[in-house]
Structure 1
Amino acid sequence: MIEMIRDHFNKELRELMSDDEWLIVREDYNPDQNLAYESLFGLANGRMGNRAAFAEGGNKKTLPANYIHGVFDKSEAFMRELANTPNWLELKMYFLREPFGIEDNQELNDFISVLDIKKGILFRSYTLTTQSGRKTKIEKLKFLSRSNSYLGAVRTYITPLNYGGLFEFENRIDGTVTNFADFPRFRVKHLNTLEINDLEGKGAFLKSETRDLGLQIGTAAAVEVKNLKGEDRLKSKQFRAFGEIACEFFDLELAENETVVIDKLAAVCTERDQEDVYQACLKNIEEFKEKGLERELAEHLEVYKKMWSQADLILEGDKKMQQALRYNIFQLMSTPSPDDNQTNVGAKLLHGEEYGGHAFWDTELFVLPFFNWTFPEIAENLVEYRYNLLDKAKENARENGYQGAKYPWESADTGEEECPAWTIEPDGTCYRCYVADYEHHVTAAVTLGMANYVKITGDQKFMNKKGIHILLETARFWVSRFSYNQEHDYYEILKVTGPDEWHEPVDNNAYTNHLAKWNIDFALEKLKEYEDSDPEFYNQLCQELEIDRNLIEEWEKLSEKIYTVGEQGLIEQFEGYFDLECEVINQWDENKMPLMPESLKGKDKNEICILKQADVVMLMFLLPDKFDLETQRINFNYYEKRTLHRSSLSPSIHCMMGLRVGDSRRAYDYLERSAYVDLDNNQGNTREGIHAASAGGTWQSVVLGYCGMKIDQDGTLAFEPSLPDKWERVKYSINWKGEILDIEVTQQDLKVSSREKSVAEDMYYKVNSEK
């Protein structure tokens, strides 16, 4: 089947494609599915992301977008959001003034689109028939360079099949772009165009700036036109400006069945890391043209080759799952920057506009573990991001009447709370949004993510210089967040929302109370450790953070009296949960997604027992040592029947918890829901971007779940594998405290080997609790 698909492409593109198992294929063009595929086939290179829109343009459904890490703007929006920057993709084509595009009056045949996840290349081939009957074969490849993250390129092969003559083209940069272009109520233009010119005769250039803070963005594009022999075919060239569109016009003669190759080379630079965006774009375009697309592509492929050598996860026995795992890894590892600690990973990666490109708790608990184990240098940047915004978190706490550091539910570039207090439904109805007011567990997630980063990577330098400040200031916040219940003689958290957002606010959410206690206890533990091991550092730290013996004793006494709701048996999610109207789930859709029980449909979600996502189950996943296995089993069995998984975060947690408590059948169902969330669009919102949390959760489900990898309490790397019957072998690599280890798990055996040397004698690992 894949061979038939390859036949749609010319020899050069066929030979460039990876083996079949690395190819995600779209075999037809359905306008109603196009927006989802623009996300699904989107590319990112650690600095910018580009949706898979058509460069030809047209009036079919499309949301072309180019997002750059750290380029946020608010303007008329509810919040600062990742701004859609000028569209450099556009290459308009005309013959006798007739435009070619994805139009209602033009026919699209033999359509094939292929995403090569091994190489980070998007291929596309189709035949376009205009209203006049002219047929044109169009083939493309697109990539965002991993070697130079300022660069992107599109190579287009154009072959007129039943006509010939003079063709006219426009190499365009479109500065009229907006966010939410197909949603008039929310549509916002975040950029003003400042300058348009011909890049000293080398192409087209457009300088823009964000409207709030005036951050400048430079976008440049140049074209090279050759025939299949490599001969220059460009006839003439002229620069024009149309309002906020930079346009380089050129034309050429083509005979019937003659093929021309047009390379569009782009450079995108911002003031975040360049003093002069024009000069930076000019330099990058000059070097790109001198180097040529092939050489830049070769260097790009070398970077991905190295990345896959660290991140690949080979699964033998299930081809569909193998492809899904690699797809999730590809999008996950392509998004964060390897050298920028001022940015994070948005909930929809760099592929869409939902949630404004903001970082949530998704990063620390779902995304960060993947990078901890595979790319620790990227993981360090992600935890550095939270440290860099610690002062703003302290300000957030003060503004809300608390002490210490309170991290925002939604975070962009400033560290301010970006979750809007008010929002608008599509019908124009305004409603109050309380998420930021009550969903404080993100603060514990930031701390837990940082602690796990240090635990896995062994980066004690970060903990001593920066992590300890996050830990102590978040503990200080939680101490101030508790209130004393004199009647019961315990400390509790009132008016709070846990991970299950369908019940807000509640009193004494078990998840929040337990994570807050963990945060405080871990802070006390680290203080004691420093006091014993390095008294001088301990005294300096306490003086700097205004911590004395009285404060430590206050924290200890409070921790001893925290109401944790329960630690054994069935744990009530929050006070009053067991009194809610309840019916268990008994129906599922074609994607194995649970459906709301009929008797509860239309009722206030605050008044019924059905959960949006894992809450108590999430707690037990994160803090397994706090609960015995029987308690975990009881709670999994109870809450699993009442969870709809309307958040993509939830299935992977239920997969791993199902494995832990011995329910392997349901665990695999949940793995499939997580792995295929975007490939099957089982949440129905892939058009808004790729689900970062499910991508990270899918990797965790296989490596930490089925392969059972963990760090034991004594710091030993340990494994308790439990592969599905149809899986023959799982192979993956980890970075274990600076050493690359290759792990191989089969139904009968487990092997660990080091790439640098034979595993040292003093390196132990456990399999099923035995060294």
Structure 2
Amino acid sequence: MNDWTWRYEGYDPARERLREALCTLGNGYFATRGAAPECTADGVHYPGTYAAGGYNRLTSTVAGREVENEDMVNLPNWLPLRFRAHSDGTADTAPETAWFSPDAGGLLAHEQTLDLRSGTLTRDFRCEDAAGRRIRVQQTRFLHMADPHLAVLRTVLEPENWSGLLDVESGLDGEVTNSGVARYRDLAGRHLTGVTTGIREPDTVWLHCRTTRSDIGIGMAARTTTTPQPASSRLEPGTAHTRRLLLLPAAPGRPATVDKTVALHTSRDPAVGDPLQAVLDRAGQAPPYADLLASHRRAWHELWERAELDVPGEAGRILRFHLFHVLQTLSPHTAGLDVGVPARGLHGEAYRGHVFWDELFVLPYLNLHFPEVSRALLDYRHRRLPRACRSAREAGRLGAMYPWQSAADGREETQEVHLNPRSGRWLPDHSRLQHHVGSAVAYNVWHYCEATGDTGYLQTRGAEMLTQIARFWASGAEFDPALGRYRIRGVVGPDEYHEGYPDASAPGLDDNAYTNVTAAWVLTRALEVVRALPEPRRRQLFEETGTDPGEPDRWEEVSRRLYVPFHRGVISQFEGYGELAELDWDGYRRRYGNIRRLDRILEAEGDSANRYQASKQADALMLGYLFPPAELAGIFRHLGYELDDDTWRRTVDYYLRRTSHGSTLSGLVHGWVLARVRRAEAWEFCLEALKGDVADIQGGTTEEGIHLGAMAGTLDLVQRGLTGMDPRADALVLDPAPLPELSEYCFTVRYHNHWGLAMRLSPGQLRIDVPASDEPPVRLVLPDRSVTLDPGESCTLELTEP
């Protein structure tokens, strides 16, 4: 391996699905798992293809009741390509030998190489059939990064110890279901209907179908060409499968090459009337393999230039791998789509492809490299603002209540029950009470506009979202005369272990610190935006959103008097957290080893995580992830509390001992926070965040889809976390706190309209190069000084020990 390649040697059926997820290829429009083309879905393999935003809704019977779920649809499989040595070497005899399968024996060697620089997956292997005939195979695939509707698979077949004919079958498979996650398999998963297939002479097969309820039309066409020309060829349409059958001459030193060029369109695509006609045209007019590969590589080269990141060692190699998967899910092509940030990428079916709060960890990175993508992801939320307002009204609140899980139309998609695979029981799911997702939307609006200088967005769509989210928080805050403060009751924080109080009849918690503090921040930012608007625009905004002119006064009051609970000198995760029982952590680790999913363990024992001071992931500590120390202290002062360094350190220590890290985001947040509180311990958590997916530390979850928020968050850790970079409208604030293990690296960012602003961090120094342009100077603000650089200038700043 090197910094740009990931190589997997040997064939390991037990880890095949993990490799399929990690070797997924995509271009922002669609993605395909790294499954072997000759294999169908079974206990070892799962060839899934997913289009961004392609959802469908089905109804299932669960625990005696009807339950609806909306899933990101597994599309028809374009990969199928299988081969075998022809039975007797003549074109007119039906072959009898078995098609090659890696699971049927005869595999002599196997290697997969994922090339990050060029976005290709290459598979090299040797096999032997029952008659002792050996074949060397090389397959290369890519999903085109310049033309996002194309995918290409090249297969080179070379006999080693014989000469003769090869049978090759290349096709499309519409007989697919959503069955990639074991705990969902009892639920309905057949999303495609009306599958029809056909042929277009001389070399193309096609497939057309629709989703059952969202009625998305899907067209797919595959053109298969060969060198040398086939001895015979025929096209065979089927009911749900269509294929081209080829008989190819080959010999040692004279391989047969099969190129399969596939086009995909859906009825959601702009400027496409008929997806089937569109794919037939696109596949038919696609350039030859060499030209497609060259243009694909150029497109990837341009992406890497915009996202330049040079971190030495193993950490840098993993970071580049993370960046590769972020770019495959959210490429510049995403800017033209109506899609959000799928928590598990386009890499599998976990979480049903839903959009949670993961953009909170993704957009800060994209803002400084691909702001057009960030803006499109914010537009996904803005288009669903009316639905969020409807949800708030139905809950008796003003403003907008964004769903914890979102998909096609913005309604709440969180399941009402979930399966504990350890106990086999279906349990109520109350995670829809994580209303803090609205604060995440507001946070992303604000920071996108600060990083880009896009005041036009802030004054229009951004102001609409901020206003409606502020209205939601203000209307839901209840005044408690005994405390003299406002309280937010009946919510769930980021820690999903706690959905209610022990033995309570109703779900929800009171005064989750993360929820209340971020709500106060949203109210303050909304006030700032509204007051800065020109009077005509402010009047228009209030009319559009139904905001009474007196409401901002309530925002001001609530933003200053929201209650934040404390106990024993630390911030309480929620009111009453400190009164819960302590858990025997050592005892559970001795009994179970891995206790990341402690909630499932406790439920299987007839107990509940609600009873214990035990958190799944960072909750109160998330505040230190979102806000730099000085800003966080300022928010608490605004609320009338004093948050000094000692209180924050005690808070960090307290929850560090009581967190099981059952989420891949937990290590990231703890590493980020500890870098400024306990530097000696930070690297352990940073390393966990880096290895979360590549080592599958959650124990089998990565095969269901990568964890996109954690991957993007590690990129942002080196971009903003360790440099203390805080892009603002009037300055680039820096407060470096490098770790010994990550003390020297460089990267570029796009700040406002300064493209390719370069930063190099080294022990004791930070060098900044502002590229030449006609843009205004860049003001840099550090804790002890400020510097202004004109375009074309550079400076090296001496750093003091943090």
Q: Same fold (TM over 0.5)?
A: yes
Name the residue aligned to 2:676: 660
Q: 1:617 aligns with which of 618, 621, 630?
A: 621
Aligned mate of 2:511, from 508, 511, 525: 508
CA distance in 2 between counterparts of 1:674 and 1:195 reads 45
Contact 1:335 1:350 survives alignment (8 Å): yes
Deviations 1:227-252 (A, max 9, x none): xxxxx322222111232001111212
Measure how far apart 1:380 and its partner are. Answer: 0.8
- Could you tell me whether the CA contact under 8 Å between 1:105 and 1:131 is conserved in 2? no
> d(CA) in 1 for partners of 2:34 and 2:455?
41
Which of residues 383, 389, 393 in structure 1 aligns to 2:384? 389
**Residues in 2 aligned to 1:298 and 1:64: alpha-carbon distance in whole angstroms:** 26
Q: Shift in Å at residue 456 of structure 1?
A: 0.9
Matched, 1:353 2:353: no
Whether 1:148 and 2:131 are equivalent positions in the alignment is: no
Match of 1:736 in 2: 751
Asked if 1:405 corresponds to 2:395, the answer is no
Matches of 1:259 and 1:76, distance apart in 2: 50
Alignment-derived partner of residue 631 in structure 1: 647
Tell me the C-alpha RMSD between the 2 structures. 2.4
- Cα gap change, 1:333 to 1:367, in 2 (>3 Å): same
Q: Is the 8 A contact 1:652 1:697 kept in 2?
A: yes
The alpha-carbon distance between structure 1 residues 554 and 315, as it changes in their structure 2 partners (threshold 3 A), is closer
Check conservation: 2:617, 2:666, Cα contact below 8 A. Answer: yes
In the alignment, structure 1 residue 495 sits paired with structure 2 residue 469: no
2:698 pairs with 1:683: yes
Q: Displacement of 1:754 after TM fit?
A: 2.4
Deviates further, 562-571 or 672-681: 562-571
Q: Report the alpha carbon displacement of residue 701 of structure 1 after superposing the two structures with TM.
A: 1.4
Does the CA-based 8 Å contact 1:409-1:439 persist in structure 2? yes
| Residues 117-196 of structure 1 aligned to structure 2 (within 5 Å) | 117-181=116-180, 183=182, 184-186=185-187, 188-196=189-197
- Displacement, 1:430? 2.5
Kindly indicate whether the alpha-carbon contact (under 8 Å) linking 1:440 and 1:497 is maintained by their aligned counterparts in 2: yes
- Whole-Å separation in 2 of the counterparts to 1:595 and 1:147: 41
The Cα of 1:759 is off from its aligned counterpart by 9.0
Residue deviations 1:489-543 (CA, integer Å, cap 9, x gap): 322111211000101121111111111122222222222222xxx2222222223
Correspondences of 1:334-353 after superposition (within 5 Å) = 334-336=328-330, 337-353=333-349
Q: SS of the counterpart of 1:54?
A: coil
CA contact (8 A) 1:703 1:709 kept: yes
The structural deviation recorded for 1:567 is 11
Aligned match of 1:285 in 266, 283, 286? 283
Query: Match for residue 523 of structure 2?
Result: 520
Question: What letter corresponds to residue 740 of structure 2 in structure 1?
Answer: D
Question: Does 2:70 match 1:66?
Answer: no
Cα separation, 2, equivalents of 1:34 and 1:686: 11
Matching of residues 249-260 of structure 1 within 5 Å: 249-256=245-252, 258-260=254-256
- Does residue 89 (structure 1) correspond to residue 79 (structure 2)? The answer is yes
Match of 1:700 in 2: 716
Aligned partners of 1:718, 1:488: CA distance in 2, in Å?
Answer: 37
Residues 181 and 704 in structure 2, CA contact (< 8 A), matched pair in contact too = no
Aligned position for 1:6: none
Match of 1:719 in 2: 734
In the TM superposition, what is the alpha-carbon distance from 1:132 to its structure 2 partner? Answer: 3.3
- Take 1:440 and 1:330, find their aligned partners in 2: how far apart are those partners? 31
CA distance in 2, matches of 1:644, 1:454: 35
Distance 2:548 2:195 in 1: 55
Aligned counterparts of 1:744 and 1:400: Cα–Cα separation in 2: 50
Q: Could you tell me which of 758, 776, 784 is aligned with 1:769?
A: 784
CA contact (8 A) 1:222 1:285 kept: yes
Say which is worse superposed, 59-68 or 687-696, in terms of deviation: 59-68
Post-superposition Cα deviations, 1:693-742, rounded to whole Å, max 9, x if no partner, equal: 11111012112222222236x84213222333354631101000011201
Kept in 2: contact 1:136–1:160 (CA 8 A): yes
- 2:190 equivalent to 1:208: no
Alignment of 1:214-613 (within 5 A): 214-226=215-227, 232-256=228-252, 258-273=254-269, 274-288=272-286, 291-316=287-312, 319-336=313-330, 337-363=333-359, 365-426=360-421, 429-436=425-432, 438-504=433-499, 505-530=508-533, 534-565=534-565, 569-583=569-583, 602=605, 603-613=607-617
Change beyond 3 A, Cα 1:752–1:594: farther
| Per-residue deviation, 1:123 | 0.9
- Residue 35 of structure 2 aligns with which residue? 53
- Matched residues in 1 for 2:597 and 2:328: separation? 36
Aligned equivalent of 2:768, options 752, 762, 765: 752
Q: 1:110-139: CA deviations, max 9, x gaps? A: 211111111111011111222333221111
- How many residue pairs match? The answer is 733
Deviates more, 1:107-116 or 1:409-418: 107-116
Instruction: Return closer, same or farther for 1:611/1:158 CA change in 2, 3 Å cut-off.
Output: same
Q: Which runs of 5+ in 2 are unaligned?
A: 61-67, 88-95, 500-507, 634-643, 787-802
Deviations 1:431-471 (A, max 9, x none): 211111x2111111111111111111111111111110001
2:306 and 2:369 in contact (8 A); partners too = yes
Structure 1 range deviating more: 470-479 or 254-263 = 254-263
Q: State the AA in 2 paired with 1:519.
A: V
Confirm or deny: 8 A CA contact 1:397 1:406 kept in the other structure.
yes
Moved more, 551-560 or 67-76: 551-560
Name the structure 2 match of 1:10.
none
Say which SS state the counterpart of residue 224 (structure 1) adopts: strand
* 3-state SS in 2 of match to 1:649: helix
1:42 aligns with 2:37: no
1:624-674: CA deviation from partner (whole Å, max 9, x where unpaired):
42324333222111111111111111111111110122x122211111111
CA spacing shift, 1:565–1:525, aligned 2, 3 Å: farther
1:597 & 1:46 partners in 2: Cα distance? Answer: 35
CA distance in 1, matches of 2:485, 2:735: 38
**3-state DSSP of counterpart to 1:373:** coil
Cα displacement string for residues 162-194 of structure 1 (whole angstroms, at most 9, x for unaligned residues): 233222221110000111157442361110143
TM-score (norm 2): 0.87
> What's the CA shift for 1:584?
7.7
Aligned residue in 1 for 2:3: 21
Residue 569 of structure 1, CA deviation:
4.4
**Residue identity opposite 1:277 in structure 2:** P
8 Å CA contact 2:520–2:558 kept in 1: the answer is no
Shift of 1:206: 0.2
Residue identity (%): 29
TM-score under structure 1 length normalisation: 0.91
Aligned partners of 1:70 and 1:413 also within 8 Å: yes
Output the CA distance in 1 between the equivalents of 2:180 and 2:532. 54
Unaligned runs of 5+ in 1: 3-19, 227-231
- Do the aligned residues in 2 keep the contact of 1:60 with 1:103 (CA within 8 Å)? no
- CA distance, structure 2, for counterparts of residue 768 and residue 121 of structure 1: 44
Are the counterparts in 2 of residues 76 and 188 from structure 1 also a CA contact under 8 Å?
no
CA contact (8 A) 2:621 2:673 kept: yes
1:4-42: per-residue Cα shift (whole Å, max 9, x none)? xxxxxxxxxxxxxxxx31011111211000000000111
Q: Kindly indicate whether the alpha-carbon contact (under 8 Å) linking 1:112 and 1:124 is maintained by their aligned counterparts in 2.
A: yes
